[in-house]
Structure 1
Amino acid sequence: MIEDEDQARRFVAQRSDFKAMARLDRFAEALAEENRHQNLVSSASLEHIWQRHFADSAQLLDFVPLSEPEWIDLGSGAGFPGLVIACMRPEFNVTLVESRKKRIIWLENMVQSLGLVRARVVGSTLQSVSGFRADVISARAFAPLPKLIDLSARFSTSDTIWVLPKGQSAAQEWQELPRRLQQMFHVKQSQTDASAGILVGSGKAEIRS
């Protein structure tokens, strides 16, 4: 279990190269500055940014054994986990979906300033995003699980990997799924919070009728 900033930074470094770590350092500096103008994350969490945000996002890579996936991140907000993934794996095609105007501008500026040429920001509601086949679907604090699955099902295929950090509610949200969806997902322990879980799944989700 990651318990402090030094451990979190080492955790991310083990999954990154020098250039990725430099991008994340610039990301952290920019986030602290932007947070003075809009509430992207809680001010208290900035003191633990590597544990609370960077390592928390980076751990999702452990469930994605793909070389160059098409990755969609729902409700990217301040950039977690999608922008962190793009920083660490610039060869991935990462689509960041965000509907709030100020956060869209923030994400677009960060993608450009960090030189993430294979990341793109789609500034709209998820319902308005043109469908495409996603190899990976991620979301953190986006929506309750049934709604999240319904909204994103059209991006999934039989090979899609779902990585959904759900905090303390992970097990409960899994239990409340219909049985057919329970069989798609399992709960994995978060490495950054002993009380948090990640719902990891694979396959094509069926939209509720």
Structure 2
Amino acid sequence: MLSLPDHLRPSAERLFGDRLELAERFVDLLAEQGPERGLIGPREVERLWERHLINCALLADAIPAGARFVADVGSGAGLPGVVLAIARPDLRIVLIETMQRRTTWLEEVDDHLGLDLEVVRARAEELHGRRSFEVVTARAVAALDKLARWTLPLVADDGVLLAMKGSSAAEEVEKARPVLRRLGGEDPTVTRYGVGEVEVPTTVVQVRRRAMATRKGDPRG
């Protein structure tokens, strides 16, 4: 069992509450099976709590109040989708992943933890026009301009894209502005969650999708 470091316990207890045991079980699954199944690198095992679980759980702070339907694009090992499902049982989460071995893993995790997830094996583009969500999340999937082409069409009117990014987030936003406008995205912001709480806060690019009535006739769109 990979123990929760003492300095992270206050954050873990805040983020996971009475579901912290589920988070611990997920960490153990990742530590035991992640490297051999190609889900995480061997060096990531010792950093699972800080670099992955807490990092992803902080994304819950960015989800708008009242939102319920969330899609996680490129779920991979379940980061952040599975973590959000543990931290926020009020959310209905769909995991979208292209690789069979990863969707198999996600289904096994769902069975083991009882999270009531929906796992969809597909490219995000294949779902354009078929599915929409109040919130779409992505972590380490692609540069923001490319990611926006895949994900913004899945965001419902007045919904939001939450893209977990690194230190280049602001530069990615500037480069992606023309694509975001064309796809109905507006008000891109970069917000850091967990400042003063964890050593490395979670950086999130948030992009709201304009309502269809607003997009029609909009010279920017």
- Report deviation, 1:171: 1.4
Larger radius of gyration: 2
Question: Which residue does the alignment assign to 1:93?
Answer: 92
Determine whether 1:200 maps to 2:206: yes
Aligned counterparts of 1:176 and 1:92: Cα–Cα separation in 2? 32
Q: Specify which structure has the higher proportion of strand.
A: 2
The CA RMSD measured in Å over matched residues stands at 2.5
Q: Which amino acid aligns with 2:27?
A: A
Secondary structure, in 3 states, of the residue corresponding to 2:76? coil
Aligned counterparts of 1:31 and 1:148: Cα–Cα separation in 2? 26
Q: Deviations over 1:140-198 (max 9, x none)?
A: 01121111111122222332122111112211101212256484211112535658732
Is the CA contact 1:68–1:91 (under 8 Å) kept in the aligned structure 2?
no
Is the CA contact 1:9–1:50 (under 8 Å) kept in the aligned structure 2?
no
Change (3 A) 1:49 1:154: same
Change (3 A) 1:127 1:174: same
Aligned counterparts of 2:35 and 2:131: Cα–Cα separation in 1? 36
Gap runs ≥5 in structure 2 = none
Higher-RCO chain (CA-CA 8 Å, sequence separation at least 6): 1
Change (3 A) 1:114 1:188: same
- Report deviation, 1:98: 0.7
| Paired-residue identity, % | 28
Question: Which residue does the alignment assign to 1:129?
Answer: 127
Q: Which amino acid aligns with 1:113?
A: H
Is the CA contact 1:98–1:125 (under 8 Å) kept in the aligned structure 2?
yes
Question: Which residue does the alignment assign to 1:30?
Answer: 29
Is the CA contact 2:136–2:160 (under 8 Å) kept in the aligned structure 1?
yes
Gap runs ≥5 in structure 1 = none
- Report deviation, 1:66: 2.7
- Report deviation, 1:88: 1.4
Change (3 A) 1:196 1:67: closer
- Report deviation, 1:132: 2.2
Question: Which residue does the alignment assign to 1:105?
Answer: 104
Deviates more, 1:121-130 or 1:72-81: 121-130
Q: Which amino acid aligns with 1:145?
A: L
Deviates more, 1:78-87 or 1:34-43: 34-43
Aligned counterparts of 2:5 and 2:40: Cα–Cα separation in 1? 17
Is the CA contact 2:67–2:134 (under 8 Å) kept in the aligned structure 1?
no
